[in-house]
Structure 1
Amino acid sequence: MKHLLLAATAAASFTLPVTASEPAPTPSPGEIAAAAPASDWIAIAPSDLLVMDLAPDAKGKPRRVVIQLTPAPFSQGWIGNIRKLAAAHWWDGTSINRVQDNYVVQWGDATEKKPLPEGLAAVPESEYVVSRTGAAGWDAARAMKRSAPIISDPYASSQALWGWPVGRGKDGELWPVHCYGAVGVGRNMSPDTGSGAELYTVIGHAPRHLDRNIAVVGRVIGGIEHLSSLPRGTEALGFYKTEGERTPIASIRIASELPAADQPKFEYLSTEGDSFARYADARANRRDPFFIRPAGGADICNIPVPVRPVAAK
């Protein structure tokens, strides 16, 4: 009996799973962001959110797009204009006029005859970039023990600063870049830089060639599907030919102007913390189980700063 018991114990030892000694799977970038402590997330002020309500869809469902405006010191002349346009309710009754496949969705006054509010600034082309000395917080961010990782791409040495994808030139200039969902200011030929009344968002491959040629004033952080799924325009460059093709805009407001219960709430993962450093490394070097060969790198637009909605309390 003793020998039989030993034999049974030995046999059982060969059938035990070996998972207990196997290393845990490497977390994906999304899992790293989800596991970040609450202290690593930064709330976005309602005063920095632009809320665009489109006309309801064919089934009567509401369509809301939420845009985070770029932080200082970037594009502040145009953002000042955008705040004035929103306060004047200028976009109410305008429309989405252009949807170009793999490129942009554009909105504003299709007639180009609607008077603009008084007091809008004419912003010079020099404001497409900011100097290192003019970028408040730049030196402080670089001096931190764990600063945002530098990312090399074909266009510039780039990194995420203050929660934003930013290009960095050899001369120290900084500028927000055109990634998917970026919101820019439509303009005519140089030296015109646009007022901010005509805006677009990227719905395709990142058009980085536009960097430093057009002002980036925000990014869509909610409801991008209401723009990217619209029918493509029938005319050159994706413009709509008839009024019936356009999507009406019911209103555009700064979120802080809405009733408290209707204000969207979002937060982003701090780009100066350890969680973001690990997230960015995981995006550039995918080691989670699905991947066979890590790419070994990524451009700035392939490392989107995690943004998440905050449930109402």
Structure 2
Amino acid sequence: MPKTALLPTALAALLLPAISAIAAPVAAPAQPPPPLSSAEVLAQSPAGDWRALDPESTLLMELQGPRGPGQVLIELAPRFAPRHVANIRSLARGGFYDGLAVVRVQDNFVTQWGDPDGDDPKKARPLGKAEAKIPAEFSIPYQGLPLTRLPDVDGWAPQTGFVDGFPVAADPKANKAWLAHCYGMVGAGRGNAIDSSTGAELYAVIGHAPRGLDLNITVVGRVLKGMELLASLPRGGPNMGFYEQAEQRSAIQRVRLLTDMPEAERPALQVLRTDSKTWTALLDARRHRGGWFVHSPGHIEVCSASVPTRPVP
């Protein structure tokens, strides 16, 4: 009779489940679903996550450029620069901007428009009912501001986020918040005196965000539509991009508030609400890229998170 090594019953009971587990096929770990693209996030957005334009705070500038006529739509920011916005409304209603010109295009910096004779008291166009002297509006109190905060680190401010669709930087300890100089933001040009801006001379950022201008210039709004026109104009000369010849300038035909236009002629656009779930999901989609991307940055910053617009459905 052959000798057979027998396992004690108790030991066999312990080992057999382990042996069975080793022999059984190992289930593959569940794969997370691929991240949604920005386009997919926007396609799934509910209607309530979009808002209409405020016609009292939206300007339509009709521009005659080298390639023909075009429109630039500007959303004003009365929460952050109420006196300047009031002045701009008055200037637009008084026809101040009509017939003026783009006077400066500096590569990777700004496109600027206003009165070419604005520095000559004898030739400068009168401001009409607008104020000739208003205080600088570089910042507002942080406390109570409905900021949709970004958790991502910013090198220019302790905190960043969005309010009413505008990119905002803030210093909570100093109780101070301000509009950030991102691509497409519109500022009020000034001279050496900090209170020398009135809104009669405006510019739009057309290059990499010049955040060093934060808290140094009153920012009054942002371009919603028409950046391709402002950013593609011929560059000016070596004097900070100012045109040397009058014929180089692009003419401004007229500037109107949407509220002063027939409703049928107003641009029919909606803006994504930055206090919505769609906005939060869109930011995540931009942090965590899929598809074509080999490397996903896992990070955004306030000037790379532009707020989308769309035609009214």
Residue in 1 that maps onto 2:291: 289
In 2, Cα distance between equivalents of 1:122 and 1:152: 37
Deviation (angstroms), 1:22:
7.8
Question: Residue type of the partner of 2:127?
Answer: L
5+ long unaligned stretches in structure 2: 1-29, 119-123
**Alpha-carbon shift at residue 299 of structure 1 (Å):** 1.3
1:44 maps to what in 2? 53
- The alignment's TM-score, normalised by the length of structure 1, stands at 0.83
Task: Render the CA deviation track for 1:40-70: whole Å, top value 9, x for unaligned.
Answer: 1111122221000012654xx4311100111
Contact kept, 8 Å, 1:151 with 1:159, in 2: the verdict is: no
Aligned to 2:26: none
SS in 1 for 2:174: coil
Equivalent in the alignment of 2:170: 168
- Residue 227 of structure 1 corresponds to 230
How far 1:205 moved relative to its partner? 0.1
> How many residue pairs were aligned?
277
Question: Do the aligned partners of 1:57 and 1:63 also contact (CA within 8 Å) in 2?
Answer: no
Larger radius of gyration: 2
Note closer, same or farther for the CA distance 1:130–1:35 as it changes in structure 2 (3 Å cut).
Answer: same
| Alignment match of 2:62 (pick from 53, 70, 92) | 53
Q: Deviations over 1:182-232 (max 9, x none)?
A: 000000002334010000000000011111110111111111111111100
Note if 1:99 corresponds to 2:105. Answer: yes
Q: Does structure 2 conserve the Cα–Cα contact (< 8 Å) formed by 1:235 and 1:241?
A: no
Q: Deviations over 1:138-183 (max 9, x none)?
A: 2xx46xxxx5444321001100122211111132311111110100
CA offset at residue 245 of structure 1? 0.3
2:129 aligns to what?
118
Mapping for residues 1-313 of structure 1, pairs under 5 Å: 25-55=34-64, 57-58=66-67, 61-70=68-77, 72-112=78-118, 113-120=124-131, 122-125=133-136, 127-133=137-143, 138=145, 141=146, 148-156=149-157, 157-169=159-171, 170-283=173-286, 285-310=287-312
Q: Any idea what SS the aligned residue of 2:310 has? A: strand
TM-score, with structure 2 as normaliser: 0.83
Q: Cα deviation per residue 1:60-118 (whole Å; 9 max; x = unaligned)?
A: x4311100111x42011100000000000001111000000000000000011112113
Q: 1:269, 1:305 within 8 Å by CA — same for their partners in 2?
A: yes
SS, match of residue 292 in structure 2 = coil
| In structure 2, distance between residues paired with 1:306 and 1:282 | 14
| 3-state SS in 1 of match to 2:86 | helix
CA distance in 1 between partners of 2:59 and 2:152 (Å): 29
Q: Which residue of 2 aligns with 1:17?
A: none
Alpha-carbon separation, structure 2, partners of 1:259 and 1:56: 25
Which residue number corresponds to residue 13 of structure 1?
none
SS across alignment from 2:92? helix
Q: 2:261 is aligned with what amino acid?
A: L
Work out whether residues 46 and 265 of structure 1, in 8 Å CA contact, stay in contact via their aligned partners in 2. no
Amino acid in structure 2 at the alignment position of 1:265: A
Distance 2:108 2:101 in 1: 20
Instruction: Give the structure with the higher percent helix.
Output: 1
* Range with greater deviation from structure 2 (78-87 or 228-237): 228-237
Q: Label 1:166 to 1:87 Cα distance change in 2 as closer, same or farther (>3 A).
A: same
Q: Which amino acid aligns with 1:66?
A: L
Q: Is the 8 A contact 1:32 1:275 kept in 2?
A: yes
Residues 101 and 185 of structure 1, relative CA distance in 2, 3 Å threshold: same
Amino acid aligned to 1:132: Y
Aligned equivalents of 2:196, 2:54: Cα separation in 1? 27
Q: Secondary structure at the match of 2:230?
A: helix
Deviations 1:217-257 (A, max 9, x none): 11111111111111000241000001100001100111111
| In 1, Cα distance between equivalents of 2:82 and 2:151 | 25
RMSD over aligned Cα atoms: 1.9
